[in-house]
Chain A
Amino acid sequence: MSTVAAVVLFIGVTAYAVLGGADYGAGFWDLTAGGARRGRAPRHLIDHTLAPVWEANHVWLIFCLVMLWTGFPSAFAAIMTTLYIPLGLAALGIVVRGSGFAFRKVVVKTDHQRATGAAFATSSVITPFFLGTVAGGIASGRVPADGHGNPVTSWVNPTSLLGGVLAVGVCAFVAAVFLTAEGRTHADARLERWFRRRAQASAVATGAVALAGIAILHADAGRLFSGLTGRGLPLVLVSAACGLASIALLHRAAPRLLQALAVSAAGTVVVGWGVAQYPYLLGTHLRIDEAAAPDATLASLTLVAAAALLLVVPAMALLFVLHQRGRLDTA
């Protein structure tokens, strides 16, 4: 029962990492798109691509929080009492980002758009970084089972910093691939090229960070390292293969395929983390079944997840399909 709930939780984490991550990454490109005139076209595409979907994608985060605090309350409390600094900063970042994006769509003056846009874009980079450090802190076993771990070294450490940088990089990469595909869908060769170059650059950069990460994990998080190179190795390899394939096919492949490859590249690495960590929730000191809530609670959560599968997934598919077919007007 507890494993089922943990799987549900991790599906949520993966969905948020991929879907929410792509939205964060779009903010990264928004931030780096240059001055108001030069950045107008890419920002417009980002706006158009993000507007209808970002809130739905964002709900995955709520889903994860709720699943964690209901299904594994002691682990949730332990994480919150240890990693409260990056989590608090991420929460503030989320408020800035969502409201900044919503406001930018309405304001018209260039300097107002610049201010709200900067708020949106900056927090789009900062937030995944902090969430990445949180993931690194948890994955490297720095959250004690009773919580109240070191508030600084739990997230200022090699694995956390790797997690933060990797999160920003992966988000940027996924977003760039998505936006390349989006540019092609709109038959806008210039934008397609603009994002393609950035997809390639971010793939190279993220790949380099991931390679350096191998050494970092080996030195700093032995248990995670052995998990990723043991049981999790197939997933890591799939991730690398998908990442390489998406770059190789960036010129030719159908947009749908490119998006699938980028999603797989990002998703499998997150799943790999989960597989590597199983059966532990925190380090090697709190097992999933030890942290789990009573069975009736886990059953309720599973029921909610089943309902989500039945209701939310088709609804989200409808949203994505309508958006892809251009039935949603974001102007």
Chain B
Amino acid sequence: MSGLSLVTVGVSFVLADPAQLLPAREQMAFTLGFHIILVPFGVAFTFLMLIANARGIRRNDETALLLARRWSQVAAVLFAVGAVSGTMLSFELGLLWPRLMGNYGAAFGIPFAIEGLFFFLEAIFVAIYVYGWRRMRPWPHFWTGVPVVLSGIGGTLSVVAANAWMNQPGGFTMRDGKIVEVRPLEVIFNDAFWYEAIHMLLAAYVVAGFVVAGVYAAGMLRGRRDRYHRLGLLIPLTVAALATPLQVFVGDIAAREVYRNEPAKFATIEALPTTGTHVPEVLGGYYANGKVHGGLKVPSGASLLSGYSPSTRIQGLDAIPAEVRPPDRLVTIVHLSFDVMVGIGSALLALSAWYALAWWRRRDLPRSRWFLRATTVSGLLAVVALEAGWVVTEVGRQPWTVVGHLLTRDAVATSGNLWLFFAATVALYAAVGATTVYVLRLLRRRWRDQGGATETDVPYGPPRASESAPAGGQA
């Protein structure tokens, strides 16, 4: 999706640009788009795993322990793929965008250095946790998982700090095109930091929650309604249902912050041709020749949402100097991505409310099969929303890489045939992606065939007198 969007963006810039710009953007979009799907599993899936683990130990619940252990195996695979695809991104920052790093690395790099620290801790404790199931005592083993969750949070905040800095750069002084002074705290806690970081962190919990819940909802739809599936659905769905309203709330704040601090991006999101008041909120539609075509207009909606009053003035695309104004197609992409993100967010909020209502009334899941169907697709939708949100923030920043300082076409590498690198990367990622899916399905089949807990499966030494062994097939 993002790759496709960037094709169109690239084409409109292509005339005066270096030949490397298009493949470089394609590759960055593709590899980031790949990596970002894995992020929620390193950051938030591990949290779900610890909930199941703690519940298992505290209540002597074999089913919860079995879930925790199996989830840790899935997390191990996804963490490995995420680690190497993240490394690829580090290389790409230099190989594709040497002038971003060469000129701004002294400021931009600082959050990455902190992220490196968290990544170290995460990699170390993931290993201890994943391989510690059999021979460590239960609670010490549980506690080795806690640094994984904490460093996942820290790592996310650090990386997003770097991204936020590109949107609202600060904390440095330039002279003759060179950074001569850096104020590290201002770099890290830049004006876009809090709303971007919290938004991404919650996104990780929303995505991991709905994706994992979706897997067990699908199993229940196929008639596997044992306690194992129920718990596998309840734990992630509860986390997702708690994170979703928070996410909608934070997203609303973020949008208003973008309105205040990043007016060009906001004009692009709203596809607003001219500055004015009583600006309608346009849902859908496309932008061409200085106008929005189609779509559903809510009168004064955008003005009301950004300033709580119809007379709120919103800056339009006309206020952006022509040479750095995003082309029409790009405006459409960002506008529609925003709508997709908000639309899915609202749907997930409704699903969360449905679940909360049933739980409040009867301490149980909603009985309708439609609830399970909705939960099954919610994971996929959450991933789409994640990608769409990422397109809004990244494509919405164009043509800038560092807003106000460095244009993307000036940041790109100027030598070599990057199409070859891009082609090799796509081929490789296709293989890695397909194998990841294959391996996860293999694990699912293996666990289903095993039925209940087997000797090798049950954590913490020989199985206890199991009074609550799960019955039936498992996914």
For A273, list chain B residues within 8 Å (CB): none
Nearest-neighbour CB distance to chain A for B99, whole angstroms, equals 7
Contact B87 A58 (CB under 8 A): yes
Determine whether A189 belongs to the interface, using a CB cutoff of 8 Å to chain B.
no
Q: Which residue of B lies closest to A304 (CB)?
A: B113
The answer for the CA separation of A96 and B427 in the assembled complex, in Å, is 11
B-facing residues in A288-331 (Cβ within 8 Å): 293-294, 296-297, 299-301, 304, 307-308, 311-312, 315-316, 318-319, 322-323, 326-331
Question: Hey, what's the 0/1 contact readout for A39-82 against B, CB within 8 Å counting as 1?
Answer: 00000000000011101101101110111011101101111110
A67 to B99, CA, bound (A): 17
Q: Which segment, of A29-37, A100-108, A202-210, A228-236, faces chain B?
A: A100-108
Contact A103 B77 (CB under 8 A): yes
Q: Which of B113, B436, B442 is A99 in contact with, Cβ under 8 Å? A: B436
B425 touches A297 (CB 8 A): no
Beta-carbon nearest neighbor of B180 in chain A: A294
Q: Looking at chain B, what size class is its interface with the partner chain?
A: 35 or more
B116 touches A59 (CB 8 A): yes
Cross-chain pair count, CB within 8 angstroms: 231
Of the residues A55, A308, A326, contact of B80 by C-beta under 8 Å: A55
* Least CB distance, B175 to chain A, in whole angstroms: 11
Q: Pick the contact of A76 from B102, B116, B414, B435 — CB < 8 Å? A: B102
B125 CB-CB contact with A under 8 Å: yes
A7 contacts B by Cβ under 8 Å: no
Tell me which residues across on chain A come within 8 A of B81, comparing CB atoms: 98-99, 102
| A148 contact set on B, CB distance < 8 A | 414-415
Report whether A101 and B103 are in contact in the complex, using a CB–CB cutoff of 8 Å: no
User: Which B residues lie within 8 Å of A84 (CB)?
Assistant: 95, 413, 415-416
Nearest chain B residue, comparing its CB with the CB of A89 = B424
| B92 interfacial by beta-carbon distance below 8 Å | yes
Task: List chain B residues, Cβ under 8 A from A318.
Answer: 124, 128
B110 interfacial contact with A, CB 8 Å: yes
- Say if the beta carbon of A95 comes within 8 Å of chain B: yes
Q: Would you call B120 and A293 a contact (CB within 8 A)?
A: no
A277 to chain B, nearest CB (A): 20
- Flag if B117 contacts A308 (CB, 8 Å): yes
- Assembled-state Cα–Cα distance A88/B93 (Å): 11
Q: At the interface, yes or no: B327 with Cβ under 8 Å from chain A?
A: no
Extra 13 A-B pairs, beta carbons < 8 Å, given A323-B131, A328-B131:
A55-B80, A56-B123, A58-B83, A59-B123, A66-B90, A77-B98, A78-B102, A94-B84, A151-B415, A293-B105, A311-B120, A311-B121, A329-B133
Give me the interface of A with B, judged by CB distance under 8 Å: 51-53, 55-56, 58-59, 61-63, 65-67, 69-71, 73-74, 76-81, 84-85, 87-88, 90-92, 94-99, 101-103, 106-108, 116, 147-148, 151, 293-294, 296-297, 299-301, 304, 307-308, 311-312, 315-316, 318-319, 322-323, 326-331
